[in-house]
Structure 1
């Protein structure tokens, strides 16, 4: 899991204290967590299996992606995601659309970003009406 500082701090305040008998909680606490931050220090990462990334984020992410056959997931972390998009480090987008109109909010993609061609590889609706769509970059692009 790859997290920005704010998302990491929110998760680290909750997940380590959640019901460890829940398989989802156990999995979340056990997985490696990589934190992109210019203000945190390694000894300031209280959540188990957390590692602070160095200052060259693109190189660090390429190293993580190359070191494991498993996928690297970004949850939340809008500023981090914008940096990953800028450096062409996102292979797949899983977008969740909730049946709720808020009227305002943060943009997922920065003004002036793109265009980027994507291919829809799957979509499904949950019983509660959430649409989950998966998009990938085209092969060779």
Structure 2
């Protein structure tokens, strides 16, 4: 059975919309696209290299797939772990509107995304990775399909935009399995899903 991981760039207030550029995603009149760029450094690059080297396949939403497909096939550096992984490993695109996926190694998952991804996990081995793909990620989280979260939390507040953990997210306990900080101040936390949260109360007596 494959492990399903989610790697997400997020602001301190949880926004994941359009980290890489102004026109990446302007839904809702979002005007802060490109907020990640000032914090990109070699530490982040090394970490992402480690992430992509662990991949055996990718599960992507339509928007993220199209952004990746417009750029990464043109990167031919065989030593780049991101380009190498994306250009050679299987890519599964969850979309009800995308009729075909021309990027080599791509398959469109046109049915119910959580059901399709659950079937992939059962059928495959290794590590399937979700990158970006906020809408898809929230759907998979709601069905308890994410096994590990890698969150790159950037020291910036935006106050508006699509958030990774939106209202109504399924209550989930997480176990911290790794943490580091980049030179630019990005806090990278890795969590393993640990079932339902526990609850308690502080004794108010004495």
Q: State the TM-score, normalizing by the size of structure 1.
A: 0.88
Tell me the equivalent position of 1:30. Answer: 88
Which residue of 79, 85, 98 maps to 1:40?
A: 98
State the shift of 1:139 in Å.
Answer: 6.5
1:57 equivalent in alignment to 2:113: yes
Which residue of 48, 53, 68 maps to 1:11?
A: 68
2:90/2:106 contact within 8 Å kept:
yes
- Structure 1 stretches of 4+ with a deviation exceeding 6 A read none
Which residue of 58, 63, 76 maps to 2:132?
A: 76
Higher relative contact order, chain-length normalized (CA < 8 Å, sep 6+): 2
- Aligned residues: CA RMSD: 1.9
Q: Distance in 1 between matches of 2:193 and 2:142?
A: 14
State the shift of 1:107 in Å.
Answer: 1.2
Aligned residue for 1:133, secondary structure, equals: strand
Unpaired runs of 5+ residues, structure 1, are none
Unpaired runs of 5+ residues, structure 2, are 1-57, 198-206
State the shift of 1:20 in Å.
Answer: 3.3
Deviation string 1:64-92 (CA, Å, 9 cap, x unpaired) is: 11222211111111110111011111111
Deviation string 1:114-133 (CA, Å, 9 cap, x unpaired) is: 32111111111122221110
2:176/2:190 contact within 8 Å kept:
yes
Aligned residue for 1:73, secondary structure, equals: strand
